[in-house]
Structure 1
Amino acid sequence: MKGWKRLGDAAKAAINARIGAGIRQGVQAAPAEGKAPRKRLRKLDKKIGKLEAKLALLRAERGRVADSAGQTLESSR
């Protein structure tokens, strides 16, 4: 809150009491309607795509390392 430090102790206590009462009653802000859920889904899909691409690269690297480790074991025999 803007100007919080300049408020008196009584005013701060009153604000904290109002906020605390809302929390104890379980009052929560409703999610915004409209674009927000679609935007959130699009953002999550983008993150999932990036992670899947990274996972594919790591799996390919793991395969190369496993192949080279297998070749070195065979060649050392």
Structure 2
Amino acid sequence: MGWAPEAPSTGSSRLELLRRLDTGPRGLLESEAEARLRLHGENTLPLRPPLSWPRRLAAACATRSRWSCSGWARSPR
């Protein structure tokens, strides 16, 4: 995972938080935002990994009648 500031303590003020984040009440200048974007990358959440086949099967069975999946579970391997 990338860099992230430490969680503020419950007693910290907004001003202390802004100082730790190296910003101010008005936000960043355009040039500062561009520099941080180059340094840290896009502000996006990581993608979720695809579901495993057992989870996909369970989800499919949960949305259909119990008879449509019960035959699969009892079939010989």
Indicate whether the TM-score tops 0.5: no
Higher relative contact order (CA 8 A, sep 6+): 2
TM-score (norm: length of structure 1): 0.28
Choose between structure 1 and 2: higher helix proportion: 1
